[in-house]
């Protein structure tokens, strides 16, 4: 009997100190889901939301009780992308409404795999887009989009005609090179394609629809006054071919210069080499 009381006291001591460490609401999940809760504690939602806000279940039940009790009400372990959108919309109404215009949501609704809130913003570790560590911080946006859009298997598996070289071709633009070289941060993916309501170019409402390009490029911080420009003829990301007057100019110029440079290199270095050897020859003869 004495022994049991001591054990019980020790147990109570440990449990109370454990719960006294933190008076936050996530405590009942903390005992098992350490990594997730730690991630969550660093996120912007900490102190504003609890685990239950997204996962359901009853947070007020003591964590010491087996977790089946926590989960006895509408608990969801890993929510489906559509569920994610639903529970984000509880607070982020406007953002969700805008997101539901996007091609990502359309595809999700068709029952295909596509990006929902958490694919871009992160899951437990959501940060403000003004935080430099955030996946939605401007400078990190290309990497965040490239996570899926550069992934050949992913893009092939759900092939909608999406090219996987978009990040590579973006890397060749001044927009990327400036920041990469330590200069100002210029346009990233979301500046032209929009973030929440990104749509395909064929959509007449899309920011990258050829008809809307002048206004997209002509945003006040970017290229103001880009109204009457010949921008709709071209494809911004196109790497392999640019057609001018039905001529594949890019290919022609590249082939021409490859030949020129090979010719010039062989010629210059060859003549230097021949000059040196003939000089040796003359010296040897003298």
Partner 1 sequence: MVELKFKRFTLNQRIQHIIFFTSFILLAYTGFPLKFPEEWWSRWMIESVGGFDNRTFIHHFSGLAMIGVSIYHVVYHILEKPRYDIIFNLKDLEDFRQQIRYYLRYSDEHPKFGRYTWKQKFEYFGAGFGAVIMGFTGLLMWQPFEAMKYFPIGFVQIANLFHTWEAVLASIAVFIGHIYDEHFGKFPNLSWLTGNIPEEEMRHEHPVEYEEAMKSQKIVNPENMEHKENKNILIVGFAKLVFTILFLAICIWMLWISYSVLTEAVKTFMVR
Binding residues vs partner 1 (CB under 8 A): 174, 176-178, 180-184, 217, 223, 225-226, 228-231, 233-234, 236, 238-240, 242-244, 249-251, 253-255, 257-258, 260-262, 264-265, 268-269, 271-272, 274-275, 277-278, 281
List C-alpha distances in Å: 147 to 10, 106, 286.
49, 20, 68
For the bound state, the minimum distance from the C-beta of residue 151 to partner 1, rounded and expressed in Å, comes to 18
Contact 114, 108 (CB under 8 A): yes
Measured CA to CA, the distance from residue 222 to residue 12 in angstroms comes to 62
Residue 244's DSSP bridge partners are 247
Instruction: Specify the residue, 151 or 279, whose C-beta has the smaller distance to partner 1.
Output: 279
Instruction: Specify the residue, 69 or 178, whose C-beta has the smaller distance to partner 1.
Output: 178
Chain mean position to CA 46: 22
Measured CA to CA, the distance from residue 25 to residue 60 in angstroms comes to 8
Instruction: Specify the residue, 93 or 264, whose C-beta has the smaller distance to partner 1.
Output: 264
- For 177, the token pair is 């090179």
Radius of gyration of the chain (CA): 29
Half-sphere exposure at residue 158, Cβ-oriented, CA atoms within 13 angstroms: 14
For the bound state, the minimum distance from the C-beta of residue 211 to partner 1, rounded and expressed in Å, comes to 14
For the bound state, the minimum distance from the C-beta of residue 137 to partner 1, rounded and expressed in Å, comes to 19
Instruction: Specify the residue, 93 or 238, whose C-beta has the smaller distance to partner 1.
Output: 238
Instruction: Specify the residue, 183 or 204, whose C-beta has the smaller distance to partner 1.
Output: 183
For the bound state, the minimum distance from the C-beta of residue 206 to partner 1, rounded and expressed in Å, comes to 18
Angle at alpha carbon of residue 18, lines to 15 and 24, rounded to 5°: 120
- For 28, the token pair is 């009942």
Instruction: Specify the residue, 13 or 256, whose C-beta has the smaller distance to partner 1.
Output: 256
Measured CA to CA, the distance from residue 129 to residue 144 in angstroms comes to 12
For the bound state, the minimum distance from the C-beta of residue 147 to partner 1, rounded and expressed in Å, comes to 19
Instruction: Specify the residue, 90 or 172, whose C-beta has the smaller distance to partner 1.
Output: 172
DSSP 244: E
For the bound state, the minimum distance from the C-beta of residue 269 to partner 1, rounded and expressed in Å, comes to 7
H helices of 70-187, in order, are: 81-89, 93-99, 103-109, 117-121, 141-149, 152-157, 166-171, 174-180
For the bound state, the minimum distance from the C-beta of residue 262 to partner 1, rounded and expressed in Å, comes to 7
């Amino acid at each position: 009997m004495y022994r049991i009381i001591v054990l019980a006291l020790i147990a109570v001591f440990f449990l109370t100190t454990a719960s006294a460490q933190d008076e936050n609401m996530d405590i009942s999940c903390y005992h098992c889901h350490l990594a997730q809760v730690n991630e969550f504690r660093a996120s912007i939602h900490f102190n504003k939301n609890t685990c239950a806000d997204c996962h359901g279940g009853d947070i007020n039940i003591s964590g010491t009780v087996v977790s089946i009790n926590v989960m006895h009400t509408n608990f969801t372990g890993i929510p489906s992308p559509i569920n994610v959108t639903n529970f984000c919309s509880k607070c982020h109404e406007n953002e969700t409404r805008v997101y539901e215009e996007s091609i990502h949501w359309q595809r999700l609704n068709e029952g295909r795999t596509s990006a929902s809130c958490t694919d871009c913003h992160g899951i437990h570790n959501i940060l403000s887009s003004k935080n430099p560590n955030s996946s939605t911080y401007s400078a990190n946006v290309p990497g965040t989009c490239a996570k899926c859009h550069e992934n050949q298997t992913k893009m092939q598996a759900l092939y909608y005609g999406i090219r996987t070289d978009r990040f590579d071709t973006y890397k060749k633009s001044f927009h990327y090179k400036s920041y990469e070289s330590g200069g100002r941060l210029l346009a990233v993916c979301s500046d032209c394609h929009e973030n929440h309501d990104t749509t395909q170019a064929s959509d007449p409402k899309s920011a990258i629809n050829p008809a809307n390009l002048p206004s997209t490029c002509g945003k006040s911080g970017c290229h103001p006054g880009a109204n009457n420009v010949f921008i709709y003829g071209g494809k911004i990301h196109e790497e392999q071919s640019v057609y001018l007057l039905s001529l594949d100019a890019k290919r022609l110029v590249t082939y021409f210069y490859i030949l020129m440079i090979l010719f010039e290199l062989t010629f210059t270095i060859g003549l230097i080499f021949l000059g040196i050897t003939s000089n040796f020859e003359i010296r040897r003869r003298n």
